[in-house]
Amino acid sequence: MPTTDYYETLGVDRNATDEEIKKAFRKLALKHHPDRNPGDKDAEERFKQINEAYACLGDPQKKSNYDRFGTADGMGGPGMGGFGGFGDVFEDLFGDVFGGFTGARRGGPRPVRGSDLRYDIEISLEEAALGTERDIRIPRRFTCETCGGNGAQPGTAPSTCRACHGRGEIRMQQGFFSIARTCGQCGGRGTVISNPCPDCRGTGKVTRERDISVKMPAGVDTGTRLKMTAEGELGSLGGPPGDLYIVVTVADHPRFVRDGDHLVSDFRLSFAQAVLGADVKVPTLDGKSASLHIPPGTESHSVFHIRGKGMPSLRSPRRGDLLVRVVIDVPKRLSEKQKLLLKEFAALGGETLEQEKGFVDRLEDKVRDFFTSE
């Protein structure tokens, strides 16, 4: 009889399913793996116990013998005669523990997804408000027509890599485990090219420019990323292509400043308009004028909202507002009549326009009067 209960070692019930046993083993093996617990003797011993338990319970025949006789072989020996289904689960486990080991698994090299591409584009504020369509030219790698994508000179063919025998990986046995590394001779392809294609130089791909039409919806803003599925680099070994990301920048506008879905614009008022009030026409982004009522006594930098004259929203059907910030325009040149009227206006309001003379000014006046009176 074994000294330990394999079900207890894996922390499962005796009626646990194969999937539950496999899941428990995987979780414990990841936790107690020596590479995750360097120098921890207890973890190393625990890891061995977990492997021994799963080597028995992971094999249907050995599990049946263990349930009936208490041993994997039914003859009183420990349940370590073979690994049964252990190899498959450890291969999955090993990829999680050793993230640095890459390469193909059984059956040869795996397809590799193509890289994503990025294209930066600048549009005007008017284009962002209305939506626009642009034709762009993207440099992209295509399958080489000369060699058909195999990278070899026409009339020749890639040969099977002698180092990995076409698997794309090198396997090494360490105790119970098989470690796989990407083959350094062929780079994981499983083949080597002795006579490279002169056009693609053995890569199987050539770079050409491709014209793509990009539709940008109304409301895009600086930083908006538009995804074009499968328009990136081609994959390898039959893998899918990557995606193309269009990153939008909206250029500055001479009149309007964007604030989310709102637009902000300055509008200059005369002194009379601000004091007496007025009905004015203010420009909008679509080129049409909007009516705005200025109430009497409006102060400079007051802000008025014109509903629905801002930017469209990507998140809702509503549009933002146009925020009109009025600035009172103070005239720098006045006629004599204008000056006179303003002085009268100030006097009626009790304002003093001339600055009161100080002590020095009054002293100068007295000295001047003394000499001129003689």
Kindly report the three-state secondary structure assignment for every residue of 105-171.
CCCCCCCECCCCEEEEEEECHHHHHHCEEEEEEEEEEEECCCCCCCCECCCCCCEECCCCCCCCEEE
Q: What is the pLDDT of residue 170?
A: 83
Residue 81: what pLDDT? 40
pLDDT digits (tens, 9 = 90+) for 93-146: 554 444 444 333 445 567 888 889 999 999 999 999 999 999 999 988 888 889
The residue among 80 and 112 whose pLDDT is bigger is 112
Residues 352 and 165: their CA atoms lie apart, in Å, by: 102
Distance between CA 365 and CA 285 in Å, rounded? Answer: 61
Do residues 242 and 144 share a domain? yes
Same-domain pairing of 237 and 349: no
pLDDT at res. 63: 85
Check if the beta carbon of residue 135 is closer than 8 Å to that of residue 246.
no
162 in the same domain as 135: yes
Chain centroid offset of residue 92 CA: 29
Least confidently predicted of 64-73, 199-208, 267-276, 355-364: 355-364
Identify whether residues 63 and 13 lie together within a single domain. Answer: yes
Q: Are 81 and 155 part of one and the same domain?
A: no
Nearest CA to 243 out of 253, 230, 256 is that of 230
> Can you give the pLDDT at residue 165?
84
Residue 367 pLDDT > 80: no
Whether residues 139 and 243 share a domain: the answer is yes
Residue at 112 is within a domain = no
**Residue 286 lies inside a defined structural domain of this protein:** yes
Q: Which of 41-50, 135-144, 321-330 has the highest mean pLDDT?
A: 321-330
Residue 345's pLDDT is 80
pLDDT higher than 70, residue 286: yes
- Check residues 237 and 58 and name the one with the higher pLDDT: 58
Helix (H) or strand (E) holding 234: none
* Interatomic CA distance for residues 188 and 202, integer angstroms: 15
What is the torsion angle, in degrees rounded to the nearest 10, for the CA atoms of residue 195, residue 196, residue 197 and residue 199? -140
**How sure is the predictor about 266, in pLDDT bands with cuts at 50, 70 and 90?**
very high
| Reported confidence tier of residue 74, pLDDT bands at 50, 70, 90 | low
Q: How far out from the chain centre does Cα 340 lie?
A: 65
In this predicted structure, what is the pLDDT of residue 234? 84
Domain assignment of residue 335, yes or no: no
Distance of CA 370 to the CA centre of its chain: 86
**Residue 133: what pLDDT?**
95
**pLDDT of amino acid 132:** 95
pLDDT tier, 1 (very low <50, low <70, confident <90, very high otherwise)? very low
- Neighbouring CB atoms inside 10 A of 192's CB total 19
Q: How far apart are CA 130 and CA 3, in angstroms?
A: 77
pLDDT, average across residues 62-90: 58
Q: Is residue 221 part of a domain?
A: yes
CA atoms 278, 279, 280, 284: torsion sign? positive
More confident residue, 323 or 20: 323
Q: Which residue has the higher pLDDT, 204 or 299?
A: 299
pLDDT at 61: 82
Buried b (16+ CB within 10 A) or exposed e, 339-373: eeeeeeeeeeeeeeeeeeeeeeeeeeeeeeeeeee
pLDDT in tens, 328-360: 988 888 888 888 888 888 788 777 766 555 555
Total domains present in the chain: 4
The reply to whether 162 and 200 lie within a common domain is yes
The answer to whether residues 150 and 202 belong to one domain is yes
Tell if the pTM clears 0.95, that is, is over it.
no
pLDDT of residue 18: 86
Segments forming the whole domain that contains residue 362: 344-373
